[in-house]
Amino acid sequence: MVAFEHQESYDDSLLPDAAELAKLKELDPDIMNWIKSRTEKEQDARLEFNAKKVEVLTKASKRAYIIDFYSITCAFLIIICGMLLSALLIYKGEKIIGTIFAGATILVAANSFLNFRKGNQKTKLPGAEK
């Protein structure tokens, strides 16, 4: 029986290792200043990218919260209107139709509120792939 092991490492360092830096310095004595300036620019770009990514995620979260709030508010208002209509039907003497309408309104409301988060969990925010 033969067993294989695969190991992978990812170096996220902005600078080359010391041996490579020494070889580069032999080729060009001024290379260290250039590498330092490029490393600073790279780090600044990474920080700026991360700040923009956080800003996009924050805006998307706020938008999702507002949409959720308005959705729940509208659902609540529709439920209240349905219950008022069923009360009006019962008041007008249509007891069976009013009762059926009230029961259907309660079932739809319960189903809507119970399944509200299940439907929203399928949509992901941008940048939240991990």
Rounded Cα–Cα distance for residues 64 and 21 (Å): 49
Query: What is the average per-residue pLDDT within 45-60?
Result: 93
Q: What is the DSSP string of 46-76?
A: HHHHHHHHHHHHHHHHHHHHHHHHHHHHHHH
Given a cut of 60, is residue 120 above it in pLDDT?
no
Could you report the per-residue pLDDT of 54-83, keeping only the tens digit for each? 999 999 999 989 988 888 888 888 888 888
Give 110: exposed, middle or buried? Use CB within 10 Å, 0-12, 13-18, 19+.
exposed
Are 25 and 34 spatial neighbours (Cβ–Cβ below 8 Å)? no
The structural domains of the chain, with segments of one domain joined by +, span 71-121
Of 116, 16, 115, the residue nearest 64 (C-alpha): 116
